[in-house]
Amino acid sequence: MRAITQLGHPVLRQIAKAVPLPLSRAHERLIDDMFVTMKKAKGVGIAAPQVGVGLRLFIVAPEPSVRYPHAPRMDPVVMINPKLIHHSRKIVTDWEGCLSIPGLRGRAPRYHTVEIEFTARTGERLRAELTGFIARIFQHEFDHINGRVYIDRVRDRRTFMTEAEYRKLWK
């Protein structure tokens, strides 16, 4: 498990560098460590900058949890050097939180559908269309590798609430 980089650390505001391919043993170890860190923190995704590494790499792994009780279940996907190819016009504003900003939630607008391209852990270049919550996770993590965090996107600052108050909404 690695320490989760907290808001204020410079790596969270830097544009990450491309991951050299094929993956090195160190990069494979980083991915394994990111999985463990994300699982222990009950996250639905994690980006390399969130563990202090400025690389264009993240994991999308939704499943229901205490933090996201209504999340769909999906096998984890490692996304290396991802690109956003196209997005829908439709934008949905919904709740987000972040492992790097613990204890806080806010309503952030995101595209409902995104078409993406990325390199899988196997080295294969893939294309996919993501919608809804999974598209939201992709965009959240994609922001991390581009030096942004979700609070940059929140339009109405009055929507911020603590994690404890957010959980009361789902009881």
Q: Which residue numbers are catalytic?
A: 141
CA distance 64 to 149: 22
Cβ neighbours for 169, distance < 8 A, ≥ 6 positions apart: none
Q: Which DSSP string corresponds to 17-54?
A: BPPPSSPPHHHHHHHHHHHHHHHHTT-SEEEGGGGT--
SS3 158: helix
53 contacts 37 by C-beta, under 8 angstroms: no
The H or E element spanning position 56 is none
Q: Backbone phi, then psi, for 152, in 5-degree steps?
A: -65, -25
